[in-house]
């Protein structure tokens, strides 16, 4: 169907389709009183087609040969296929290509087959899954761990089970990942966000509300996915001396990246964190989510987290990849040293050129653009120059905070970093970002 000639779509005024942020389409529709879902879908699709035509549609591009530090990338915006340096992938240690990890996954398929066929509670786990839970619990400094099929479902499942119903109250950092917020909404608990990484604001909200609830859960990330900033975990843990709450920390962007395995361990706060969660799709280059905690809380989640009860478990090959990745992290500590040197180098250079990279220290490096049109146009120019990265736009972040996000992994070479910096400097000047 030719969307632009659709009768319904003619009724909707989506200004400047070619540069309109796709995230605003729903708002445009609502403002015009349009709630019919087919019409809203057509409006979304029309913006996507228009942006694809002009080349600024920057989503859903894909690699021809899987994730790597460089390779052929196919644009879904009619920009063709391009040899690119690849920056959107969270495989911090590039273990998806490590021969030991690849061999372990292949061997596991031969022994355990593909897929699990059912959830853990009804017999979907194998001895590999049990081994992984034990080893993850150990790394995360807790007695037990519970393995979910993804990081997303771990947060949704765990949070909705731990703070069930209106006698519970959840306080979460305003910049928490969507999986945390979805878990909060599903829980049926009362909830409030607190100011980003602001322990004083959290303290004020605990003082005002905590006493009125049976259970209070505080949820934060150890490192925030959109900025790469570390959470003020010590200050948050200190609040436990004054208030009675359970603390849940999502270590998606720090797990396996420190010699102590987690940021909670590195900061010496694990004992005061009730739930240490991570996804296994990043440093361990597989899939899965895990929550490490006490045996009793594990049992509660086994029985009450629908994402655990009613979702097939991770395939054995992916569990084998997790275990092999943990072996490699233990046996090749130089990977961590090398990653962190590259992080220091790239962050320092980007700052030196004049880019605003925020306050973070992690391998997630944001480059703030702060103007949505510039973000789309500069993103297109970057792709044309062989740099493939993520444009983080509204509604994921506020309009004033739109940015590119570079995710460094250990297999990025200094040559690739330098070439990226050259392109960024050239385009940053052209588009007035620096
Ligand atoms: C902080 C955080 N938590 C959870 C998730 C979900 O993990 P997964 O994509 O592996 O399901 C992500 C994914 O990016 C994340 O950044």
Q: Give per-residue pLDDT as tens, 69-93.
A: 999 999 888 778 999 999 999 999 9
d(CA 99, CA 184): 39
427's tokens:
């385009």
Rg (CA), the chain: 22
d(CA 319, CA 340): 26
**Domains recognised in the chain with CATH numbers:** 3-54 (no CATH), 62-86+333-430 (3.90.1150.10), 98-331 (3.40.640.10)
Q: Which residues contact 39 (CB under 8 A, 6 or more apart)?
A: 8, 9, 11, 12, 29
Query: 3-state class of 279 per DSSP?
Result: strand
For the CA of 150, the nearest atom of ligand 1: 11
- Give the confidence band of 5 by pLDDT, cuts at 50, 70, 90: very low
**CA 151 to centroid of ligand 1, rounded, Å:** 5
Q: What is the pTM of this model?
A: 0.94
- With the C-alpha atoms ordered 285, 289, 292, 295, is the resulting torsion angle positive or negative? negative
Q: Enter the DSSP assignment of 312.
A: P
Please say if the pLDDT value at position 304 is more than 60: yes
Tell me the C-alpha to C-alpha distance, in Å, between residue 262 and each of 38, 153, 267, 285. Answer: 45, 20, 9, 16
Chain segment 168-227, per-residue pLDDT in tens: 999 999 999 999 999 999 999 999 999 999 999 999 999 999 999 999 999 999 999 988
d(CA 192, CA 395): 19
**CA 193 to centroid of ligand 1, rounded, Å:** 19
**CA 289 to centroid of ligand 1, rounded, Å:** 8
Mutate to test the pocket of ligand 1, among 279, 290, 321 (most ligand atoms within 8 A of CB): 279
Q: Enter the DSSP assignment of 218.
A: E
Residues with CB under 6 A from ligand 1: 150-152, 155, 177, 179, 221, 225, 250, 252, 279, 281, 289
Rounded to the nearest 10 degrees, the angle between the axes of helix 372-384 and helix 414-430 is 130
């Amino acid at each position: 169907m030719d969307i632009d000639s659709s009768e319904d779509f003619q009724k909707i005024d989506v200004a400047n389709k070619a540069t309109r942020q796709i995230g605003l389409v729903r708002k445009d529709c609502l403002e015009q009183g349009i709630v019919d879902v087919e019409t809203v879908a057509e409006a979304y699709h029309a913006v996507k087609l228009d942006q694809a035509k002009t080349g600024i549609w920057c989503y859903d591009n894909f690699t021809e040969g899987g994730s790597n530090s460089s390779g052929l990338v196919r644009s879904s915006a009619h920009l063709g296929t391009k040899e690119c340096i690849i920056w959107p992938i969270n495989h911090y240690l590039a273990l998806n290509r490590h021969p030991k990890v690849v061999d372990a996954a292949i061997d596991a398929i031969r022994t355990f087959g593909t897929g699990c066929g059912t959830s853990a509670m009804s017999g979907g786990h194998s001895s590999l899954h049990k081994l992984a839970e034990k080893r993850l619990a150990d790394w995360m400094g807790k007695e037990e761990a519970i393995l979910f099929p993804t990081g997303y479902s771990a947060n949704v499942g765990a949070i909705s089970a731990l703070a069930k119903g209106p006698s519970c109250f959840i306080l979460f950092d305003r910049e928490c990942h969507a999986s945390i917020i979805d878990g909060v909404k599903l829980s049926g608990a009362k909830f409030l966000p607190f100011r980003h990484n602001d322990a004083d604001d959290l303290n004020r909200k605990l003082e005002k509300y905590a006493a009125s609830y049976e259970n209070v859960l505080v949820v934060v990330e150890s490192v925030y996915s959109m900025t790469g900033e570390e959470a003020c975990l010590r200050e948050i843990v200190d609040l436990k001396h004054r208030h009675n709450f359970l603390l849940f920390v999502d270590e998606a962007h720090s797990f396996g990246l420190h010699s102590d395995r987690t940021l909670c361990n590195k900061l010496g706060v694990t004992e005061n964190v009730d739930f240490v969660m991570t996804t296994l799709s990043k440093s361990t280059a597989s899939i899965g989510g895990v929550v490490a905690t006490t045996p009793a809380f594990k049992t509660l989640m086994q029985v009450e987290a629908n994402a655990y009860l009613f979702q097939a478990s991770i395939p054995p090959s992916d569990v084998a990849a997790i275990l092999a990745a943990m072996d490699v992290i233990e046996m090749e500590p130089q990977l961590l040293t090398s990653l962190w040197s590259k992080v220091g180098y790239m962050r320092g250079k980007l700052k030196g050129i004049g880019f605003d990279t925020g306050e973070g220290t992690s391998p997630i490096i944001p480059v703030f653009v702060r103007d949505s049109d510039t973000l789309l146009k500069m993103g297109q120019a970057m792709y044309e120059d062989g740099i493939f990265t993520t444009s983080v736009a509204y509604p994921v972040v506020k309009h004033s905070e739109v940015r590119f996000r570079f995710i460094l992994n250990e297999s990025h070479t200094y040559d690739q970093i330098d070439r990226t910096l050259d392109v960024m400097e050239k385009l940053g000047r052209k588009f007035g970002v620096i």
